[in-house]
Structures are given as structure tokens and as C-alpha cells.
Amino acid sequence: MKKRLFAMIVSISVALGLAGCNIEIKQPSNSASQKESAENSGQEEETGETEEAAKNGETYILCTSDVHCGVDQGFGFAGLSRIMNTLESQGYEVILIDDGDAIQGEAMGAFTKGEAIIELMNTVGYDIAIPGNHEFDYGMDRFLELTEKADFPYISCNFNHKGDPVFAPYLIKEVNGIKIGFIGVTTPETISTSTPRYFMDESGEYVYDFMADESGKKLYDQVQKSVDDARSEGADLIYIMAHLGNEAECEPWTYADVISHTNGIDVFFDGHSHDTDIVKMKNKDGEEVIRVAVGTKMSHIGYSLIDAEGEIEDTGSFSWPNKIAAPDLLSIKNDVKDSVDAKKADLAQILDEVVARSDVDLSIYDPEEKNANGDPIRMVRRCETNLGDLVADAYRMRMGADVAIANGGSVRVNIDKGDITYGNILKVHPYGNMMSIVEVTGQDILDALEWGAAEVPGENGGFLQVSGLTYEIDSSIDSTCTKDENGMFAGVSGDRRVKNVMIGEEPIDPQKLYTLTATNYILFEHGDGYTVFDDAKVIEDSTKLDNQVLIDYIKEDLNGVIGEEYADIYGEDRIVIK
């Protein structure tokens, strides 16, 4: 597999006039043979054998994050493998790390409960990984089982079980005589942004934690302790592998919070928020630390180059902004590409079955508004959308309840106009959550809507798309929702943002009982922090999968055609924000 082919990525991109692959590799001084090989590599195929090269004493650390099963997108795993192989053939040592959220997000992960992704990571040759919040989406037992199947260790300094660390907090690798310390940090948001029930014992008590507290001090102290311990064991350099992000709702556990409250960190590789920012900021001692994020779906690969004297020479990211993935555009052929293709073939027969048609485009993104990076706003997480309406209608109609709610974070991708396959539906609902019906009071519904609206106009995976009811949000009123120590809903302490709630044609009655359907993630597992249904009477328990409910609604209730009733991308004014 390992042959000196990476230079072809640059040379062929220039030759074909492709202004997409933003890569600049420092060349070793004695690289004439590598240059000659690169110039003749366009017709070659990687064979799976490593050609020995004289080592130049320098080390590249490569970092991926938030792959979310996108193994054939962006650079792809095949492109990543080519980069690694070429660097090694040029005399560099290479360490490959992942910052979490690799195994979930698309059909390949969902159908194999993460195993196919772990097997591919083994093939690529990862050295270290950390758990992101979505590593737990298939259950705690399943994730721990997957870590046993991995040929690389997981680390995390703040992931505990009954007060004891689940993984080692850090790992020191000695390369070219330099001891490099890698410290794992997992977002304390994990409990509320995965499935809270997975972190409990059979009695409903939380037995796993991520050192969350309102001040952030527990996390800062633990990161600092890990840095100090790694230094005391002889680490010359400290690299943080974090899944923290930069979003306001992640405070006080963002990368900036951690850097500003610690010292001794050299480089901070980060994930979780899917941004691609490269930021230099001061630690608590006023010393500069660089933070690098690498987006999602293999659009970027982080790197850090350590020279032969143990100095960090350069840190940044390679980018692949082309719509066509590197393995396809550059016709990359290697063992990793073969493995990816084999995994895709296993799923293709099922996923390619056409089950319906849409006459309209259904979206989770705002067609006009962009964020500061120029990326579309995920409006399904902060306002009504036509796809959110469709999903909620499917829940209510197929389950037979008065009201249906769907958290915006569970609606993952658009459905484009045209044929709809099973794979399209699965990508909308990749988690395979079970559906249930409960009997709740009007007050329970009001509390749920209030919690879901707490972050508006910001994005929030717990924002509720609805069917069978309408409501208004007064965004001029600050949210007065309170949280417990694990970030779960604890009550409303003041004025409410949610107003004028109607069930059908009637104002909601806080004392009246209604039937409500949603996924078990929301109803029973405290997903996105929803605790309001803890005392609800269960009418139907775990009777259908959410993606099957959506397929059945489209095929049977809509006779296989999503029509003009869902044409408005902003929905039917079920949710009005003022």
C-alpha cells in the first residue's frame, strides 16, 4: 500500500487546472528520487508494500475529526492513506490521530453500529483516537466493544465510570528521540447530546460522567493535571486531542475556555463544532497556543510538523473544498480505497431501492442566511422547515397521537426533489430511534416547548419541530429555563418565551391530558436534556423505528409522492418567531 504517491495530488491538480487541493508539504533537502517518482506516479497503483526510505528525523502529526462516516468524501480515507504513505516515503515519521465522532452519521455506521468504520480506521492505520459525543450513539456497551476491535487506543482524561477513568488520560509516543504527549478531552456536553440513558445504571442513576460543572473548573483542573503528569513523565511536547468546539452553547467547555485556564499545551487539535478555524490565543500564563479544527466529512486534515531538533516548525490544515472527493477526482487506487469500496458495496443493494418520489426540495438549511464562515445555517435546529414538518407529520399520523414532536438534531440531511431511496431516508434519520406514545399534560408540552426554544435564535439540536400544534416564540425574552448539574431541564424560573400554543384549533389546557409521540431518545432517554416526560404514562412503548415511520408515511399516507403541501421551505407557520 505504501508508495511515494502523495506529490501526485499536487502535480495532477495543477496539470488539470483543479484549484481545489490546498496542500503545501515541506520537502526534505535530499528529495531528488522522490521528485522523480512523483513525476512518474500518475500511472502507478499503490501495491500495499512499503518501500524503505532514509528517515529525515522529522515527524508529521495528522489529525481528522468529525468524520461522521464520510470515509469517501473530501480527502476520503484513501486520500488520507496516500498522504501518509508519501510522507513516509519521503523520510518522515507519521502519527495519525482522530478527535472523535467518526463512527456515526451515515448508513455505513448505522447498519454496522460503527464496526465498518472501526475496521476502516484499522486499515488506514490510526495511532490514537478519542471519543466524541456521538461515539456513544449505539450504546455504551457497543462503544466499549468497538474499542476492543480497534487496533489503536482510545484516550480521554475526563471520561469516568463511578469516579474512575475509563481510558488512559494521555499517551506518550517517542518518535525520532522526541517524546510527544497526547491528551484526550471529550466534551462534557456528551451526556445531553448523545443518549443520556446510556450513561446510567439500571436504576436510572448516572454512573458515567465527563467532569461537567457550571464553572468549568473540574474540566480545566483535569486537563491541567494530565498536562503536568505527562510532562513529569518526560513529554517534550503536549498535543491536546479535544472534542470541545467553539459554540456558545458549549461554554464553559469550549477550546478557548480550556486554553485560557491552563498552561503547558503546545498544540490544540479540536473538533465537535465542525468549524475549520485556526486560532492563536494566550493561555493563562500569556503564552501562545495554536488551535486547529478540521471541519467534518474529511474536508480538512490537520497537521503539525516537528523538526529533527524537536521544535514545532508548522501547524495548520490541508483542505479539499472540491465537491468531487479526492479518491474519485484523482483516481486513487490503494488498499484503503478497495476496503472502502467493499464496505459500500455491502450496503448498496438495500440503500439503492427507490421507495418514493418528492415533487419538492425539503431542507434542513436556510436557503439564504449564512454563518460567519459562509456555511448555510441549519434552520431545522432553530425554526420551522418543510422537512421538519414532514417528519413530525409522519410521527403523528403513523403513530396515531394528538401531538408529535421531533428534535431538530435528529433530522440530519435534505431530501432533494426526485426519487427517494431507502438510503435517503436513512440519512435523514440515521440513528434508528424507536418511537413511542405517552400521555402527558398540557403543562408537560409547554415545558418541552420552552426547553426546545431556549437557544433561539441560536442553533440547538433540541429545538422541536411539531405536528398537531402551533406556537410562538418571543425571542426578546431571555430564556429562564434552568438546568441540573448534567445539563438536563430542571424547570422554568421566570417569564416564558413560548406563547399562544394551540392544539388543533383550541388553546392548550395545562391541566388536560394529551397523547404525544416522539422518539425514545426524547421521551425516555433524556436526549437533548428533556426530562419533562419522566412521569408520563406510556401508551405504546418502542413500537416502530423512526426511519420506517417516515418511509411508511410517504409510501402509504402520501401514496409515494411528497407534493406541493410541503413546497414552502419555511413550513406552514406552525412555529412563529418574533
DSSP letters for 219-240: HHHHHHHHHHHHHHTT-SEEEE
- The CATH number given to 7-46+59-344 is 3.60.21.10
Of 445, 439, 461, 577, the closest CA to residue 501 belongs to: 445
Of 235, 301, 225, the closest CA to residue 261 belongs to: 225
- pLDDT by 10-residue block (mean), the chain, 578 residues: 35 33 49 35 46 82 96 97 96 98 87 93 98 92 97 98 97 97 96 82 94 96 98 98 92 97 98 95 97 97 97 97 94 97 88 91 90 86 97 96 96 95 89 89 98 94 97 97 94 97 97 97 94 92 82 93 96 96
State residue 544's pLDDT score.
Answer: 76
State residue 17's pLDDT score.
Answer: 31
Q: Do 7-46+59-344 and 354-577 fold alike per CATH?
A: no
Of 570, 518, 512, the closest CA to residue 546 belongs to: 518
Q: What is the pTM for the complete model shown? A: 0.70
CA angle 223, 224, 227 (to 5 degrees): 90
State residue 517's pLDDT score.
Answer: 97
Q: Are 533 and 440 within 8 A, CB to CB?
A: yes
State residue 52's pLDDT score.
Answer: 57
State residue 251's pLDDT score.
Answer: 93
SS3 547: helix
Phi, psi (rounded to 5 degrees) for 155: -130, 150
d(CA 237, CA 63): 16
Contacts of 427 (CB under 8 A, 6+ apart): 106, 107, 412, 413
d(CA 504, CA 278): 49
Amino acid at 84: M
Indicate the domain borders of the chain: 7-46+59-344, 354-577
d(CA 378, CA 380): 5
Q: CB-hemisphere CA count at 13 Å for 427? A: 18
Please give the distance of CA 304 from its chain centroid, rounded to a whole number: 23
State residue 395's pLDDT score.
Answer: 97
354-577, CATH topology level:
5'-nucleotidase;  domain 2 (3.90.780)
